Chain A
Amino acid sequence: MVEIILFWLFSILGIAGAVGLIFNRNPIYAALSLIINFFSIAGLYLSLRAEFLAVIQILVYAGAIMVLFLFVIMLLNLQTEEKAEKFDAKRGIAFLFGLAFAAEMIYALRSFASEGQTPLAAQFDYGQVEPIGRSLMTSFLFPFEMISVVLLAALIGAIVVARKHTYT
């Protein structure tokens, strides 16, 4: 019972956060909405008994990435978008596509639920420290190492793009 209440609480909060992210004209409020969303997702992880994932979600996303987002927004001193964007044909089409996509997802996931089967992934204690640590050191060793290449490439890229002209 408690779990169901918590599920709905976190789900609604999470969706509210996501909607707030999109519709807030003030960039800081948008960022804060996203943080709310992250916390709700962490809450959902907790209710799946994935404590490690939940904490990492907060530590990494809310605690590091969003702090940087806020930092940049504040540094650039972004102001509230003054004029409302016009609702033209392009936006209309985009809106329709988004709606269609949402409908598709809901339909697909509902079909999933209606067959009364829990997802396989949820049957394992995947979200805890030990299973995650173990699989990072065994079956996912190689991807784990290779992710560092992605990060390295991104790092170089950020420097290449941001650096002043020092072409020798």
Chain B
Amino acid sequence: MNSFPFSIAELALSSQYVLPLLILLGAGLLLMLLDAFGAAKFLPWVAGAAFLLSAGVAWTQGAPAGRLAFFGMMETGGIAPIVHAFLCLSGLLTLFFLSDYLDRHDRHISDVYALLVFAVLGMSLMANAHDLIMTFIGLETMSMCLYIFAALFKTELKSNEAGLKYFLLGSFASAFLLYGIALIYGITGTTNFSLLASPERIEIIQSQQTVFYVGAGMLLVGLLFKVSAFPFHFWTPDVYEGTPTPLAGFMATGSKMATFVALGTLMHQLDMFQNTKLLSVVGLASLLTMIYGNIVASRQQNIKRMLAYSSIAHSGYVLLGLCASQSGMEAMLFYMFIYTLMNIGAFGMLGMVEHDYPDTELENWRGMGQKAPLFAVAFSLFLFSLAGIPPLAGFMGKYEIFIAVIREGLLLPAIVGILASIVGVYYYLRVIVVMFFSKSGETSALLPSASRIPLAGAAILVVLVLVLGIFPSLILNPITQALSGLSQATAVLP
């Protein structure tokens, strides 16, 4: 008597498709066990190896879009492997700076590695979901880990504030998302992307416009909160400020990349979102986000808060890219990849000196150019890249986005974006000016006293930012290839 409607072979095939995820899951459990059995010093290495392995397996698993696993729950073809690899990379890069940072602050919280792995797992689940339920579960996995990151230094007031604020507001946003999903399920009777895109459901949606708009709107609220887009941005600076700096970098990159991919999939794979009203909402949010983020960032006296506002502004650019169609998705992924490199670099280097120059106040960085010239130069490089100055990678990212937007005929938004990013140049340059053109009198080592691992990480990132600025096709080509099969592939349930 075998009443199960699926065979073991089918299950095995699905498991093979999601192998990169299973590697992360296993690694997370292994990390917890290793921690329990007193092998805490190997944890960063094990986590790093897991990220590398998982990313490697995903990279070799390329397939046309529509290769679904587990009854249409997960997309494992198309851009999924590449997104997974990018997310693993953001985790890996964070690791470079994380353990040194924890050591310096004398907080050896070894659980953080397992959480980092679970966070990346959640991001990947969310980004590559093919079902709204999966999107929600991924988002919750990711958010749960991020809440803990925010509250990690629990004896510090700022960290407490960050943890509580993020947790309460994040839960609220998740509730909106869930309510939105419930309404969409209520009218269509399904949460699966393939089924939602089927003609009969589209017909239902069209006959139930009002409920659909409310549901989709709430869905958008939940997702826009996670990328700190304009009306839902207010948590960002406080949370980033209280979060341990390398993890704040991770928060600003990985989680946003995952959310953007999920949002992009919803908007471009499902016809229901191909609808001018929703697109214009996203577009409006994007414009306001850019303007607000850049203007407020220019008034910050604290580098960490400045970077937080800048991350709001960057979300605006990417959202604008999302409003463009296919090429926007491509530009978005490319941009988020570049942004991951430079932002983790900036946050990581900030973390390296946070112990010696406390509070990350801009004032304390006076004369950094003389005190630690090499450090200052590298940090400036990341800032230039964030500002989008050629020939650095950040410029290529912005270029791709704006070109995609202009190609879609959205000339006015593109101009607003470009103007906003010019405002952005001001505050990045301000930091550089403070570092190099104000005297501090003392000179010291070329580099701040950091151990080799974070320095190596910073060096790798500097090289990547330079190289990708000149040869963007190294990353752009794989993305284009992965995306090229996306539009014509009509996903079928196994």
Q: Which residues of A contact B (CB under 8 A)?
A: 104-105, 107-109, 111-112, 115, 117, 119-121, 123-124, 137-143, 146-147, 149-150, 152-154, 156-157, 159-161, 165, 167-168
Contacts and interface: CB of A to CB of B under 8 A. Distances in A.
A61 B225 CA distance: 27
Nearest to A110: B210
B235 interface: no
Contact of B108 (A105, A147, A150, A167): A167
A138 B140 contact: no
B63 interface: no
A157 B71 contact: no
A124 B214 CA distance: 24
B115 A153 contact: yes
Interface string B77-91: 000000000000000
Given A143-B134, A156-B115, A149 B25 contact: yes
Contacts of B154: 160-161
Nearest to A123: B189
Contact of A142 (B74, B107, B114, B213): B74
B309 interface: no
B118 A153 contact: yes
Residue of B107, B114, B208 with most chain A CB atoms under a 10 A cut-off: B208
Contacts of A159: 111
Given A120-B189, A138-B71, A149-B141, A143 B131 contact: yes
B151 interface: yes
A157 B147 contact: yes
B153 to A, nearest CB: 11
Contacts of B152: 160
Contacts, number: 120
Given A153-B115, A168-B108, A111 B211 contact: yes
Chain A interface mostly: helix
Interface of B: 4-6, 14, 18, 25, 28, 32, 40, 69-74, 106-109, 111-112, 114-115, 118-119, 121-122, 125, 131, 133-134, 137-138, 140-141, 144-145, 147-148, 151-152, 154-155, 163, 183, 185-190, 204, 207-208, 210-211, 213-214
A117 B206 CA distance: 14
B32 A156 contact: yes
A141 B137 contact: no
Given A108-B211, A146-B125, A119 B186 contact: yes
Contacts of B188: 120
A156 B71 contact: no
Contact of A149 (B73, B121, B134, B213): B121
Given A142-B74, A150-B140, 14 more contacts: A108-B183, A112-B186, A115-B208, A138-B4, A139-B73, A140-B73, A141-B70, A149-B118, A149-B121, A153-B119, A153-B148, A160-B109, A160-B111, A161-B154
